[in-house]
Chain A
Amino acid sequence: MLLFWRTLLALPQAWRQRRKVFDQFFEIGNASLLMVCVLSFFIGGVIALNFGPALVERSFTNAVGGVVGLAIAKELAPVMMAILIAGRIGSAMAAEIGSMSVYQEIDALRTMNINPIHYLVLPRILAIAVALPLLVIFSVLVGWFGGATVANFNHLMDIPYQVFLANLKDMVGLKDVVNGVFKSFCFALIVGTVSCHQGLTTIGGPRGIGRSVTKAVVNSIVLIVVFDYLLTRFMAQ
């Protein structure tokens, strides 16, 4: 919490650190886009496969697009992408900053009067806070397409693309997508803050770095799931 508060106080420095923010942003996008694409397509597909036949069997064919669309937009895309980013980017952040702590690079920054929060933490948290919601929007679209594709080609459903998307449009509003994107923004702050904190507090040698990486990922995932419930509860009211 203290690190998050200090990062908020450092926000006026954001423009000065813009190059590092863009570097981190590119790193996150470059490292995750293909994985997001594959993961989202199959998540959409598997949701359609799980719920579609049961709904069709009970004559709720018109609900398949909506159920898949809602599940992906409100829940699966934000949570799965946040967990993916915690594993892929959060771990890398904790390892990089942890290694800098262990090898005195952060002490070196301090002796040069360079604040590690401005130099290391702020750009990473800003980049992830922008990148994750964008990845979630991309994930939602790919997930919908994955669901529509499976619904179209699976012989138990045989729902054409146009029908699936029309049903989806009927049940899923912009508000639902915004809810999911807002959740992903909160998850991004959690992943960024937890990972940077673990990195900065790393002690010991390579084993300490490994421990920090594990803690960064595990703590992020636990907090994502807890906050997912709290945010869903809050937004449902």
Chain B
Amino acid sequence: MNPANSNSSGVGLVVRGLRKSFGGQEVLKGVDVTVQPGEIFVIMGPSGSGKSVLLKHLIGLETPDAGEILINGEPITAPEVAARYRMALVFQSGALLNSLTVGENVGLYLAEHRLKSPAEIEAVVAEKLADVGLKDAMNKMPAELSGGMKKRVAIARALVIEPQFILYDEPTSELDPLSAVVIGNEILALNRKIGVTSLVVSHDRDLAFGVADRIAVMAEGRILTIGTPDEVNKFNDPLVQSFLRADFKREN
């Protein structure tokens, strides 16, 4: 991530034959995905399907056993390539630093890399927090926030990086439907406003079909199908359909 790079247009991403094992258990079994610049791409799948592991590979927190990840056609595993693009990950838990205030969390990237003066950082933090509807939370501690607020702060923290590629890990998990809609709208608004390429990993069907330009369904470490929400909805595969149509049955 190069802070000096001011190009804020979204980037394209290609994943080819990605494989990863942990302790002899293969979690990713040859994943192939292409994400177009500026699109909102959602990866759906049941828990344990390998979605979050894939996400960690894309942001550089894991290294693959085999396969490649290309960003705008260049391998992301090369440090000089990774340094050229600004990417941000919004963690499932928010992953805010609990010892810092909300404002310090959001401004951490700028402060640690000394990109702006303290007064400028405060202004940027206030602006980003206002963008996610939390302008009054600057001096609060993460422990004082609700789950939805923590995720919005995590989004604000990601926005400070001015990312070209933003990854969301289960952004609506543990949220009530209203907060989930707020987060979904946030993802859409950011994509439309700054053209950032967005990759959302989620098992929330409402979110996926509400925000996605394209959806991939993943199960047992493999991509089962990729397409527009309509195409995926009509995809005739028992595993995909059972995931998409899963519902309670109440017998009277």
Question: B-contacting residues of A (Cβ < 8 Å)?
Answer: 16, 96, 99-100, 103-105, 107-114, 119
Contact = CB atoms under 8 A, between A and B. Distances in A.
Contact of B108 (A107, A110, A112): A112
Query: Among A16, A100, A107, A112, which residue has the most Cβ atoms of chain B within 10 A?
Result: A112
The 6 lowest CB-CB distance pairs between A and B, nearest first, are A108-B95, A104-B95, A112-B109, A111-B89, A113-B1, A114-B112
B97 A104 contact: no
Contacts of A107: 56, 61, 89, 91, 95
Contacts of B87: 111
A48 to B, nearest CB: 43
A103 B93 contact: yes
Nearest to B111: A114
Interface string B96-136: 11110000000011001110000000000000000000000
Contacts, number: 48
A100 B112 CA distance: 18
Most buried by B among A100, A104, A110, A113: A113
A233 B60 CA distance: 47
Contacts of B212: none
B161 A112 contact: yes
A110 B1 contact: no
Interface in B219-236: none
Interface residues on B, range: 20 to 34
A111 B61 contact: yes
Contact of A105 (B95, B113, B114): B95
B88 interface: yes
21 contacts: A16-B114, A96-B99, A99-B98, A103-B98, A105-B95, A105-B96, A107-B89, A107-B91, A107-B95, A108-B91, A108-B95, A108-B97, A109-B97, A110-B61, A111-B59, A112-B112, A113-B109, A114-B108, A114-B112, A114-B113, A119-B112
Contacts of A16: 114
Nearest to B113: A113
A105 B97 contact: yes
A109 B108 CA distance: 9
Interface string B71-91: 000000000000000011101
A78 B89 CA distance: 45
A10 B64 CA distance: 28
Interface string B51-67: 00000100111000000
A201 to B, nearest CB: 15
A99 B96 CA distance: 12
Nearest to A17: B112
Contacts of B114: 16
A105 B112 contact: no
Interface string B153-182: 000010001000000000000000000000
Contacts of A114: 108-109, 112-113
Nearest to A96: B99
Contacts of A100: 97
